[in-house]
């Protein structure tokens, strides 16, 4: 069971880089526990404030509820307290509340509440959904404002009044006006997380708005680059940040934008490029083509010529 209070968890993750480990699949499309453990052990060697097991990049949408709990339990066991583990929770209210209880039992340190499946709802319905999940667990909950689950500052304030364990807000829509209203209304009551794809692109302007951390998908396969980039963001080193965007992030985005679903697929391809093949993505996503994977490999290899040189990337 988690030993962190919701407030302690929120403060901790707000002071460092976050990431969503991929969920590896072995032949037969089954969870590859050995590869997952190896990947997590590697990532724990870098300066990361929290890992989100079975999150968006971890293909939460393709996992059964039982698999979600298994993935989270494996992450908790492997990290062994080195890094807080937060769990993805979602779908409709009934499944989400059951998952919240399940991942708490599995030892998670917190929850990221993903948008409910498919439906669009009024604020009253979204609030009831979020509150039900908060009431189903003692863990700290982070609400993910994205797609069909966009809460206003008024809704968020009412939820925070009634639910002390609602401790975080992750922005995945990029509405600067709404983000400003929420931050001015809630202040330090919440920890704010950048969740736009790709978060590095928005990191500097969001920092000025009080968003001190973000989730880095590329941390999965270029963790040294990601941690150096985050450090540059926090010290407001615009030259270094712009170099990272120009030399790596924006070219990667150009590949990612070619097909729908590539935001996850390109991270799985990156794992293969650096020698940590974590299998394919599950349908309905599709994998990068061979030529696209080769483009990504060349991009990763060129990192050793710039600001973010690492022995791991040079070897890849």
In angstroms, the Cα distances linking 204 to 27, 200, 212, 251 are 40, 8, 9, 18
Beta-strand relationship, 30-31 and 25-26: antiparallel
d(CA 98, CA 106): 12
State the catalytic residues.
Answer: 144, 170
Using alpha carbons, list the distances in angstroms from residue 286 to 10, 31, 52, 64, 65: 34, 18, 22, 19, 22
C-alpha to C-alpha distance for 299 and 126, rounded to whole angstroms: 41
Tokens 């976050």 correspond to 18
279, 32 contact by CB (below 8 A): yes
Distance from C-alpha of 282 to C-alpha of 63, rounded to nearest angstrom? 9
């Amino acid at each position: 069971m988690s030993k962190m209070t919701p407030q302690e968890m929120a403060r901790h993750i707000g002071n460092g880089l976050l990431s969503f480990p991929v969920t590896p699949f072995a032949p037969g499309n089954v969870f590859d526990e050995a590869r997952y453990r190896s990947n997590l052990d590697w990532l724990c060697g870098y300066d990361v404030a929290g890992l989100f097991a079975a999150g968006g990049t971890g293909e939460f949408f393709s996992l059964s509820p039982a698999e979600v709990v298994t993935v989270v339990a494996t992450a908790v066991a492997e990290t062994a307290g080195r890094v807080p583990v937060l769990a993805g929770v979602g779908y409709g209210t009934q499944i989400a509340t059951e998952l919240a209880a399940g991942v708490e039992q599995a030892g998670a340190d917190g929850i990221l509440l993903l948008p409910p499946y498919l439906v669009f709802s009024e604020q009253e319905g979204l609030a009831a959904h979020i509150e039900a999940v908060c009431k189903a667990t003692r863990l700290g909950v982070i609400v993910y404002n994205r797609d069909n689950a966009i809460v206003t500052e008024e809704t968020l304030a009412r939820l925070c009044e009634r639910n002390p364990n609602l401790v975080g807000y992750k922005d995945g829509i990029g509405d600067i006006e709404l983000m400003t209203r929420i931050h001015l209304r809630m202040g330090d009551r919440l920890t704010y997380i950048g969740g736009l794809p790709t978060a590095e692109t928005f990191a500097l302007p969001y920092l000025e708005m009080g968003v001190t951390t973000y989730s880095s998908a590329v941390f999965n396969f270029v963790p040294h680059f990601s941690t150096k980039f985050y450090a540059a963001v926090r010290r407001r080193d615009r030259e270094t940040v712009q170099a990272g965007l120009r030399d790596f992030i924006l070219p990667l985005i150009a590949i990612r934008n070619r097909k729908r679903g590539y935001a996850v697929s390109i991270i799985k391809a990156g794992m293969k490029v650096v020698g940590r093949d974590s299998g394919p993505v599950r349908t309905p996503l599709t994998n990068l083509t061979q030529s696209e994977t080769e483009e990504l490999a060349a991009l990763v290899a060129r990192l050793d010529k710039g600001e973010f040189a690492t022995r791991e990337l040079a070897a890849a």
